[in-house]
Structure 1
Amino acid sequence: MNPRRPGADRLRSGSARRATPDDLPVLVELRAEMFHAMGVDVSPAGWRDRAHRWFAERLDHPDYGIFVVETDVGVVAGAVGAVRDAAPSPADPEGRDVLVSNVCTFPAHRGAGHARRAFGAVMRWAGGTGVSRAELMATEAGRGMYERAGFQVTPWPAMRARL
């Protein structure tokens, strides 16, 4: 007989929880992995330290929901939600929405539903904010999960410029 600790099945499959200060290094690594998976060069200096500070400053802020999925091997996935303030519009009379970002699973742990758990935790948090709309940028790999959650492609793609 192989005795297991209580909750071992939960940990093996992964359990989403709010991130803590101990998770800061892995949050930065998950962010790097997300960009790497998108084909973005993650080697420029300095951004990881700034990302670490960014996460640290927002862990307990009520406008941010930062979640990780932990298994018996440690944190394997994460996701972030952020309440954004904007001027009201016909499409968003409240003028606020939740930006979902940084949904990522380390490659060795993909395909086990960890991103879905992290994303689900963010969406449950978002549902409790009183905000009625969420937005995200999707990779092709994540698009199906987001569509199943009710997200739709909009006719207005994001545009960016360096300032």
Structure 2
Amino acid sequence: MSNGTVRRATAADVDALVRLRAEMFAAMNVADTDELWRTNAHRWFSDRIDESDYCFVVVEVDAQVVSCAAGAIRDAAPSPAVPDGRDILVSNVSTAPAFRGRGYGRAAFDGVMAWARQVGVRRAELMATAFGRGMYVRAGFQDTSFPAMRAALGEAWSLDSDRGKQQ
């Protein structure tokens, strides 16, 4: 990265964070058919931009935000792998299409990782796309034996339902 400025995002950058999040979803081939998520994302970023457990880093080129990354400290029960129970979830690593391949995404990601080390967090987790995977592997991330699982929790969902029944 040669001509970008890396900095913490401010409230003035929330629109750019939402725009770059949309670019991330487009790169992942996620359908963007509903504006509600953008409204909610704008509120979410606005509510957290100054919170100490969050870090939003942007890269600016010629007064335009072209890349970003986010980090969120998670409070979890301590474990053998994370004795103090705190780790960081890295997300929203995205670069505008015209600026990809120049190191801007890596610079934003590195800014979040530096913040995590500064605040004493010693483990990071993320979900990688095929495009970003190489960067994360080079940064020391590895696949885990416990991949993420997800379920939509509608009103009808319960542990007694067919989907949630324990054996």
1:77 matched to 2:56: no
1:109 matched to 2:103: no
Name the TM-score, length of structure 1 as normaliser. Answer: 0.90
**Residue 128 of structure 2 aligns with which residue?**
138
**Residue 5 of structure 1 aligns with which residue?**
none
SS in 1 for 2:90: strand
Superposed CA RMSD in Å reads: 1.3
1:89 matched to 2:88: no
> Which stretches in structure 2 are left out of the alignment for 5+ residues?
154-167
Instruction: Report if aligned partners of 1:19, 1:67 keep a CA contact under 8 Å in 2.
Output: yes
Aligned residues: 153
> In 2, Cα distance between the equivalents of 1:136 and 1:93?
19
Instruction: Output one character per residue of 1:57-115: Cα deviation in whole Å (capped at 9) or x when no partner.
Output: 11111100001100015110000000001111122221110000000001111011000
The one-letter code matched in structure 2 to 1:135 is E
**Residue 7 of structure 1 aligns with which residue?**
none
> Which stretches in structure 1 are left out of the alignment for 5+ residues?
1-9
- Runs of 4+ with >4 A deviation: none
Instruction: Report if aligned partners of 1:15, 1:117 keep a CA contact under 8 Å in 2.
Output: no
**Residue 23 of structure 1 aligns with which residue?**
13
The one-letter code matched in structure 1 to 2:94 is C
SS in 1 for 2:42: helix
Identity of matched residues, %:
61
**Residue 108 of structure 2 aligns with which residue?**
118
**Residue 164 of structure 2 aligns with which residue?**
none
> In 2, Cα distance between the equivalents of 1:17 and 1:73?
12
